[in-house]
Chains A and B, each alone.
Chain A
Amino acid sequence: MTELLLSFRLAFFVTAILIVVAAPLAYWLAYSRWPGKFLLEAVVALPLVLPPTVLGFYFLIAMGPRGPLGKLWLALFGHTLAFTFTGLVIASVFYSLPFCVQPLIASFEKIDPKLLDASRVLGAGKGRTFRKIILPLSLPGVITAVVLTFAHTLGEFGVVLMVGGNLLGVTRTVSIAIYDHVQSIEYAAANQLAVILLAISFVLLALVYGLNRRVGVRWLSN
């Protein structure tokens, strides 16, 4: 159960951080007319296609005592980031970034630009327009982003293995534990955790589709 709780803790922190980071990023990607925008779009989407081991490997290097992130952390807190829970959170934030950003962009882009013009003409600046118009109208996208990020982080394996290793209560997440059990031919124990993970993932996804339908029906139907 320690592993499961750790996975939940990781997913919770990553989701909380990502929704704050991804919202302005998605806003910019959805509305900016900067010609070089596609470069950032590609970077954001990178974790979708990159093997987690590659991403994890570079994070491991960056977080080590000779990496820029590791050096900074060492100077600030007296230890490096590799094989710590914080390091895991940071790497996971990047790994799950597209799962949070893409649904947000998709729903921001769906908003009628005339509504944003109307909001501006009525005296609302960018901040108020974002809070009062864009966010509420993107609620289905926000829900999707939160749930996908959470579920994706929960089931993460490769990056955790590379960056975090396998320290009980620190970096041993549920997917690592399952792998461990299988390695030790403890199929029953592996199955216990796997079933839980499967059930949670299914419930979360069902929640997304169900909620989106209800929220969507309320004002998108016309």
Chain B
Amino acid sequence: MAVELTQPNLSVRTHLKRTDASSSIFQLDVDFWIPPGITILFGPSGAGKSTLLDCIAGLITPDEGRVTISEDLLFDSATHINVPAQKRHLGYLFQSPALFPHLTAQQNVEYGLSDLPTADSANAAQKILKLFRVETLASRKPAELSGGEAQRVALARSLVTQPRVLLLDEPLSGLDADLKNSIFADLRAWNEANRIPILYVTHDRAEVDALGERVVAIDDGKIIRQGSPREVLDAPRNQRLALASGFENLLAGTVKDVRLEDGVMRVSLDGSSTVIEVPLGFAKSGDSVRIAIRAGDILLALERPVGLSARNILQGTLKSVEQRSATMVCKVEAGAVFDVHVTLSAARALDLHPGRELWLVLKTYSCHVVT
């Protein structure tokens, strides 16, 4: 810990209460700390992710709290310190590039370097535009840039000032996968070279896998989990988080019994006699729970399999099958309707068609209890 504290870090504690136009109350209550490197702020939309970034950047003033970068105090409600946004020296990239439309790409990048002599700022801008592969577009106006190019210029503009912390608010959500990946690669390279705390907001599971060293999961204004992407997202304990991190099956059930000695509990699915064995969770006998299962984690078999370690083998009927790009999306009725994803070749081999009798195989550890 002592070693980590000497590295630049961002520490945030904020409390904020807002009443919106429809007079519903939103509360943001978070307290966390991030080291250098990319931390993903993950959560469903409306969870308060952007509000949190605005608080860190100084665009919104929290009701209470404390924000520091390393030893440097940016906001402290107790001592009435509130460093204005323009003096916080952070990089902040929004969902839209927000490039100044009347300035060229080069002038946009140089905007944050007004303290430097002209030659130096032009130099620095050229360098960073090159780093993000947009140096040939320097003299173009934003209207003449594609979405990806504009976001690269915006990224260059945020980083040219050598910010102490970088905030990214779903900056690539409008771009296609290839474009995203190439920008990710450049961002990762920049991160390796500079190692500042980077907070990257997204609700896209693929972006987490591509970028994240750490994940802070937030829902309804509160942090619900933090840790490595696998820890947080592969075993979600929260329903909305489960949906957001790509668990297609979310089944309601009631805990039938808890077998501590086996490390499992049995859950009977609501409205059917099907019983599923799941890992121990925060629940006791008689509790209503939900079970999150990834569609890709379910196996299909034509006959009842034997000699498997998997504990849940359910008999069912294929209701529908539909091709979605390279995946076959099957709906199987087995006490509840399960979404099952299989590859095209597997679908051919099993001769999947509606009405087919099937066996579903679920590993205990693929079933996650969420609340």
CB of A222 closer than 8 Å to a CB of B: yes
B112: chain A residues at CB < 8 Å are 122-124
Contact B98 A112 (CB under 8 A): yes
CB of B101 closer than 8 Å to a CB of A: yes
1/0 contact string of B147-162 vs chain A (CB within 8 Å): 0000000000110010
Contact B114 A115 (CB under 8 A): no
CB of B86 closer than 8 Å to a CB of A: yes
CB of A77 closer than 8 Å to a CB of B: no
1/0 contact string of B299-332 vs chain A (CB within 8 Å): 0000000000000000000000000000000000
A contacts with B: majority SS: helix
Closest residue on chain A to residue B141 by CB atoms: A219
CB of A151 closer than 8 Å to a CB of B: no
CB of A186 closer than 8 Å to a CB of B: no
B143: chain A residues at CB < 8 Å are 219, 221-222
CB of B59 closer than 8 Å to a CB of A: yes
Closest residue on chain B to residue A136 by CB atoms: B102
- Complex CA gap A220/B158 in Å reads 23
1/0 contact string of A19-32 vs chain B (CB within 8 Å): 00000000000000
Show 18 A/B contacts (Cβ-Cβ < 8 Å), sorted by A: A114-B94, A114-B98, A117-B57, A120-B58, A120-B84, A121-B85, A121-B86, A121-B92, A122-B112, A122-B157, A123-B87, A123-B114, A123-B161, A128-B114, A132-B100, A219-B143, A220-B101, A222-B143
Residues facing A in B76-135 (CB within 8 A) are: 84-92, 94, 96, 98, 100-102, 111-112, 114-115
Chain B residues proximal to chain A, CB less than 8 Å: 57-59, 84-92, 94, 96, 98, 100-102, 111-112, 114-115, 141-143, 157-158, 161
B contacts with A: majority SS: loop
CB distance from B214 to the nearest CB of A (A): 24
CB distance from A70 to the nearest CB of B (A): 44
A123: chain B residues at CB < 8 Å are 86-87, 89, 112, 114-115, 161
A221: chain B residues at CB < 8 Å are 143
B100: chain A residues at CB < 8 Å are 115, 118-119, 132-133, 137
What 10 A-B pairs have minimum CB-CB distances, sorted nearest first?
A122-B112, A114-B98, A118-B98, A219-B101, A120-B85, A121-B92, A120-B86, A136-B102, A222-B143, A123-B86
CB distance from A135 to the nearest CB of B (A): 10
CB distance from B162 to the nearest CB of A (A): 12
- Complex CA gap A114/B255 in Å reads 49
- Complex CA gap A114/B143 in Å reads 16
Known: A117-B59, A118-B98; 15 extra A-B contacts, CB below 8 A, are A115-B98, A115-B100, A117-B92, A118-B94, A119-B100, A120-B58, A120-B59, A120-B85, A121-B59, A122-B86, A122-B161, A123-B87, A128-B114, A132-B100, A137-B101
- In the complex with contacts A114-B96, A219-B143, A221-B143, A121-B111 CB distance below 8 A: no
Residues facing B in A68-122 (CB within 8 A) are: 112, 114-115, 117-122
Most buried by A among B111, B114, B161: B111
- Complex CA gap A137/B86 in Å reads 20
- Complex CA gap A93/B89 in Å reads 42
Contact B111 A132 (CB under 8 A): yes
Size of chain A's interface in residues, with CB distance under 8 A? 21
- Complex CA gap A111/B74 in Å reads 28
Contact A124 B102 (CB under 8 A): no
- Complex CA gap A133/B108 in Å reads 11
Closest residue on chain B to residue A139 by CB atoms: B102
CB distance from A160 to the nearest CB of B (A): 39
- Complex CA gap A29/B158 in Å reads 30
Contact B94 A117 (CB under 8 A): yes
B141: chain A residues at CB < 8 Å are 219
Closest residue on chain B to residue A112 by CB atoms: B98
CB of A125 closer than 8 Å to a CB of B: yes
Contact B98 A125 (CB under 8 A): no
> Quick one: which of A114, A125, A219 contacts B86, CB cutoff 8 A?
A125
- Complex CA gap A125/B58 in Å reads 13
B57: chain A residues at CB < 8 Å are 117, 121
CB distance from A166 to the nearest CB of B (A): 47
- Complex CA gap A113/B138 in Å reads 24
Contact A124 B114 (CB under 8 A): yes
Closest residue on chain B to residue A133 by CB atoms: B100
- Complex CA gap A112/B102 in Å reads 13
Closest residue on chain B to residue A222 by CB atoms: B143
- Complex CA gap A114/B92 in Å reads 11
- Complex CA gap A136/B142 in Å reads 15
B114: chain A residues at CB < 8 Å are 123-124, 128
- Complex CA gap A185/B90 in Å reads 73
- Complex CA gap A128/B87 in Å reads 13
- Complex CA gap A136/B102 in Å reads 7
> Quick one: which of A119, A220, A222 contacts B111, CB cutoff 8 A?
A119
- Complex CA gap A156/B161 in Å reads 52
